[in-house]
Structures are given as structure tokens and as C-alpha cells.
Structure 1
Amino acid sequence: MEYVLALDAGGTKTLAAMADASGAVTSLRAGPSLDPTAQENWQDLFLEMVAPALQKPGLKAAVAGLPFHDELLALSARQSELASQVLPCPVLVQNDVRIAFDGAFAGAAGVLVLSGTGSMAWASLNGTNDPHYRIGGWGDGFGDEGSAFWIGRESLGLASMALDGRSDAMPFAHALLAEMGLAEHQLIDWVYGVENRRSSIAAIARITAGLADQGVSDAREILDRACDCLAAHVSAAQRRLDAGSSLPWSYAGGVFANAYVLNGVCDRVGSRPVSPVLPPVGGAVLRAAQLAGWNTDKAFIEGLSMSLNEAFQSI
């Protein structure tokens, strides 16, 4: 049997899928993030994620959506080199947001805004010769506005100001610390002591979202500013394409699982998003199938979508 391999690696986790020429997903596995800025052993983890695909014949093509690809040049070269050396088939390494775009629109034009551990938008009219634009994605040092990391960092910043008496947000600070299971004096030790600071701070976004759902005004104010940032990504992408607000937009990433954020971005953009045709790992499968020369018509995409939905129930 012939099959393709697809990787979707974000800042928190990695999904590896194998699928056949009908679009049926034969394997879907979850593993740790392949973020090279946080995981010194990311190359070993990559080998672990692709190992099952190397144990059976018939691998026709592979696509890997990896963090920071096409952003950090030397690192991007290492990512591509590793994938080409390890996988005995045509292989394409892309930015993880590019494969989310491919999944969301499945060949159509649009703007994809992703907010997970980091944030970025990807946009194209998606014709044969049309350029692709990346908006945002400058990393947690001076970017990733509206992302889970950004929300977590803003939450910690507000809490620290309240603990100092520089803000009147003490109820928010106490609620945040209680959810984290920390006393006031333990906060700085926790932040600088966690093994993976990026993903750990990003995880705080869930706490802030929960407090916002409870009506905590300071938590909602942080999420409101995140909505401002994410909507600005969409607007900037539409301007880059000179397409106006009529160009459809879609979304990906765990931050958008929060209804307050999704509705807030919709209000600011002025339109509802189109539902993603496929999840990001499905975008990687679709690209891999095209790389293999398979027929990726409507029936293939619909079958892939149904098969992925079933496969997600098992992980």
C-alpha cells in the first residue's frame, strides 16, 4: 500500500499522520513539540515521530510543518536537511502556519490567522503564480501578539504589578496565583525555574480565559487586547493582498477555542470566519498527497476530513 506522511509541529505538541491515496488516515499520533528554540533534542524527537513511517514500505511523499521554518535561516536549513536525510521519498518542509493555511482553504484564496503558543497570519490569493504573505510571527521576544504566550506573559505582568502595588488588579493576581497553585513569593521562582518557559507561560492563557469566562474584568481586558492584535493580523493581510474585507478568513490554534476570543476577533474584523476545511495536519496531508502526484479532488478532501475526525477521537 502506498501512503504519505504529514507532520504538524507547533509550540506545544506535534501530530504525525499517515494516509493512503483515498484520503483514509491509517495512523495519527501525538508527540512533543519540535520547537527548536525550546527543545535542544528536537532532532531526536523528529526521528521518533517519523520512525513508524520508516518501518513499512510504500512511503511516497512527506510534508513537515515545523516551527520557525523560513524564519530562522540556519535553523531552516537544518530542518530541511534532516528531513531529506531521514525520509526516503520526496519531502517538503514548510512553516507550520503555511500548512494550517493549506488545510483551512484547501486550495482557495484567503487569510489564515493562527493563535497557538505563538501567532501569525498567512495569506494568498492562491493562484499558480500568486505570492504568499506572512504577517506577524516575529517570536516571543518582540512579537507573537495575541498568542497564548502573549496572553500568559501579559497576565504575569499584570499580576506582578498588582503584587507590587503598581496596579489595582489584586483580585486578578490572587485568582491567577490560586489557579497556578502558587504563593506570592513563589511566582518569580516558578517563571524562571520551569523547564520549558515558552510553553509553560503559554499554558497560563487557559487560566486567564477561564477567569474571563467567570467575568473577571482584568482577564477580559487582556483577552480584548489579544483580539485587537489578532484582528490587526487579518486586516494587514487583506491590505497586503489588496483584496479588501471581502476576502475570506479562517483561524487555527488553541486560543481560538475560546468563544470570547473568536467572537471578539469577528467583531473587530467585521465578518465571521469560514470554517477550516481541514485541520493543520490535514493541510500537510493534502500537500504531501499532491507531492506524491495523487488525485486530490473534492472526494479526496472530504474523505480525508471525515477520516481525520475519526482519528482524532483515538488520541
Structure 2
Amino acid sequence: MKKTENYFVIGIDGGGTKTVGALANLEGEILREIYSSSTNPNKIGFELAISRLKNLISKISKNKKIKIAYLGLAGGLERDEEKREKIKKELQKFFNFPIVIDGDQRIAFRAGTDERDGVVVIAGTGSIAMGWKEKKEAISGGWDWLFGDQGSAFWVGKEVLEEIGKALDGRRKSFRLKDFVLKRFKIKQEKDLYNKFYSQNFITQVASISKIVDELARRGDFFSKKILIDAGKQVSEMAIAVIKKLKLENETFPVVLVGGMFESQIFKKKVEKEIKRISKKSKIYLIEEKTSDWSSKVSV
């Protein structure tokens, strides 16, 4: 029998803003943890994504016998088997242990439950809902920032910037959130908006506005609260679409909520309310543990 006590597994959770990789033993104990920036090929390009993943895996696997590496990556990979295979093929050129490429949804789901069937709702920089029932799989959202990610942190930030632009143009009245955002980003002239948000890391910059929106909403600002409620409705519609596709409305199943948007109680309560309205027996779990724990759990 082949000894496995000296073998380790790698788990990587690659998001739109940051990537975290972990080395774990076969019992799931985290031994090494390394952070990197985005590895979403749709946002940074295929070659840069491969380069960052290669460097991350090299650092994590240094001087260790690796049994398997499991990579859950953002960027619509759950819909694109060809892209998953392309990433795997490129990375396998550099490593002699098996590499599995998947979307980041399964990692997030496993973080919240050991059940096989259920739904995961991710609302961070981007947004997506995905579910499983027996051998069936359903997806809603996850179309990325250009024509998707409704209800995400990026979506919230973009909505705010659109309204700020209208106010500066005189197409709408000025509003408290506008002044709050401009002050927080130290924007004194209109041209500064271009320099701040039309930049290489514009997705991260725009998404960061969502934190400001929540801060002001908690202070009672009506417009900020409305944006978060609208965002919650958008994300809950993704979850409901998945629930209906899998015909889970009258069943007991876990719904795992993941992502920075759920730090907003206004947003979170709206999502939970809408999900419960359509599936009263669902059990909702909010995941707050580190993403490295999720990925290592799937790898083991």
C-alpha cells in the first residue's frame, strides 16, 4: 500500500479581487497560506492569470509532495469547459501532480455544508447563484462585470457612479451619498473621477464604493439603503431562478451565502427574505471563514 502520510493537497480560491491558496495535510489542517491578487482571466487576461496561478502554486508546493491541487476560479468557468481545460493544460506543463480546475461556486458551497444538494449564492465583487440536485446542476448570474454581476459590489458602485455623473451634469438633484463618495476618494474636480475609476484596477475601485454605501445606509440615508435593497433583490432573483430550475421550492435544502456584500445587514436581510418567500423549508447559512479553509476542504 502506498504511504500517503507525507502527501499534501493544495486548494486555491481565485476571485475577482483576490486569490488565496492553501497547503493542507490529508486531514484538512492548513499548514501554509499565501495571498495573491485577482486570477480571473476575464479581468486580467489569460496569460497573466496563468502566470499568477503558476507562481502561487510554486510557492505553496515548495519542498512538498502534492497529491492534488484543486483550483476554484472566478470568470465564468462553470459555463466554459473549454476554458477550464485550457487553464489546466497550461498549468500541467509546470507541475507533475494532478490539477483540477472548477468554478469557485463548489468551493463556497462546501464551506457551508456537507450535503450534496443545495444552493450557493455568491455576492462579492461579482455575483452568481448555483445549485445541485442529484445529478442536475443549475446556474443563474455569473456573467461578469460587462453585462452581469447584478447586485454585486461592482454593480452597486457602478450604480452610484452613474447617479453621481447625472448630478454633476445637472440631470438630477445632488444627494448626500455623492458628497460622501467624492470626499472619501478625495475627488475635488470632475476630471478626478476619470483618473480614479478609469484605471487598471477599476473593478476593485468601483466595487469598494459598496462599503461606503452600506456605511451611509446604516446612518439612515434613504438613497443608500434603496441601492442595497435593490442589490439584494437582484441577487435573490438569481437564487430563486436556481431553486425553481431544480424544483426545490417545497424541499428542505441548504442555501449557503458567501461574499463581502453579505456584510451589509440591509442587503443580507433582503436576500434571505426573498429566498424564504419562495422556499420556506430552506436552511440559510452565512459563511464567514477564510476562503483557504474552503478550498482545502474540497481538495481533501
Q: TM-score, normalised by structure 1?
A: 0.84
Matched, 1:287 2:298: yes
Matched, 1:155 2:160: yes
Shift of 1:73: 5.9
Q: Secondary structure at 2:56's aligned position in 1?
A: helix
- Partners of 2:288 and 2:203 lie apart in 1 by 29
Q: Which amino acid aligns with 2:20?
A: L
Query: Do 1:104 and 1:277's aligned partners in 2 also have CA atoms closer than 8 Å?
Result: no
Matched, 1:254 2:265: no
Q: Secondary structure at 1:200's aligned position in 2?
A: helix
Tell me the equivalent position of 2:171. Answer: 166
- Partners of 1:23 and 1:192 lie apart in 2 by 40
Tell me the equivalent position of 2:273. Answer: 267
Shift of 1:187: 4.5
Residue number among 32, 44, 51 corresponding to 2:51 in the alignment: 44
**Superposition map of 1:17-32 within 5 A:** 17-32=22-37
Q: Which amino acid aligns with 2:107?
A: I
Query: Do 1:112 and 1:252's aligned partners in 2 also have CA atoms closer than 8 Å?
Result: yes
Q: Secondary structure at 2:200's aligned position in 1?
A: coil
Q: Which amino acid aligns with 2:94?
A: V
Q: TM-score, normalised by structure 2?
A: 0.88
Shift of 1:90: 1.9
- Count of aligned pairs between the two proteins: 286
Residue number among 230, 239, 260 corresponding to 2:235 in the alignment: 230
Tell me the equivalent position of 1:219. Answer: 224
Residue number among 91, 98, 107 corresponding to 2:99 in the alignment: 91
Q: Could you give the per-residue CA deviations for residues 124-143 of structure 1, whole angstroms, max 9, x where no partner exists?
A: 12x4xx12222111111111
Tell me the equivalent position of 1:81. Answer: 89
Query: Do 1:169 and 1:218's aligned partners in 2 also have CA atoms closer than 8 Å?
Result: no
Shift of 1:78: 2.8
TM-aligned CA distance change 1:136 to 1:193, over 3 Å: closer
Tell me the equivalent position of 2:111. Answer: 103
Which deviates more from structure 2 when the two are superposed, residues 257-266 or residues 280-289?
Answer: 280-289
TM-aligned CA distance change 1:76 to 1:4, over 3 Å: same
Q: Secondary structure at 2:97's aligned position in 1?
A: coil
Matched, 1:145 2:155: no
**Superposition map of 1:92-131 within 5 A:** 92-125=100-133, 127=134, 130-131=135-136
Q: Which amino acid aligns with 1:120?
A: I
Q: Which amino acid aligns with 1:264?
A: K
- Partners of 1:107 and 1:207 lie apart in 2 by 36
Which deviates more from structure 2 when the two are superposed, residues 20-29 or residues 78-87?
Answer: 78-87
Residue number among 56, 59, 63 corresponding to 1:56 in the alignment: 63
Stretches of structure 2 that go unaligned for 5 or more consecutive residues are 1-5
Q: Secondary structure at 2:100's aligned position in 1?
A: strand
Query: Do 2:21 and 2:34's aligned partners in 1 also have CA atoms closer than 8 Å?
Result: yes
Identity %: 23
Query: Do 1:177 and 1:184's aligned partners in 2 also have CA atoms closer than 8 Å?
Result: no
Query: Do 2:151 and 2:231's aligned partners in 1 also have CA atoms closer than 8 Å?
Result: yes
Query: Do 1:100 and 1:279's aligned partners in 2 also have CA atoms closer than 8 Å?
Result: no
- Partners of 1:189 and 1:241 lie apart in 2 by 44
Root-mean-square deviation (CA, aligned residues, Å) is 2.1
Shift of 1:84: 2.3
Q: Secondary structure at 2:216's aligned position in 1?
A: helix
Which deviates more from structure 2 when the two are superposed, residues 274-283 or residues 236-245?
Answer: 274-283
Query: Do 1:223 and 1:261's aligned partners in 2 also have CA atoms closer than 8 Å?
Result: yes
Query: Do 1:11 and 1:117's aligned partners in 2 also have CA atoms closer than 8 Å?
Result: yes
- Partners of 2:243 and 2:43 lie apart in 1 by 32
TM-aligned CA distance change 1:184 to 1:172, over 3 Å: farther
Q: Could you give the per-residue CA deviations for residues 81-102 of structure 1, whole angstroms, max 9, x where no partner exists?
A: 1232233212210011232123
TM-aligned CA distance change 1:7 to 1:257, over 3 Å: same
Q: Could you give the per-residue CA deviations for residues 178-203 of structure 1, whole angstroms, max 9, x where no partner exists?
A: 11211241344135532211121111
Q: Secondary structure at 1:168's aligned position in 2?
A: coil
Shift of 1:263: 1.4
Q: Could you give the per-residue CA deviations for residues 133-181 of structure 1, whole angstroms, max 9, x where no partner exists?
A: 2211111111111101101100101111122222224322111111121
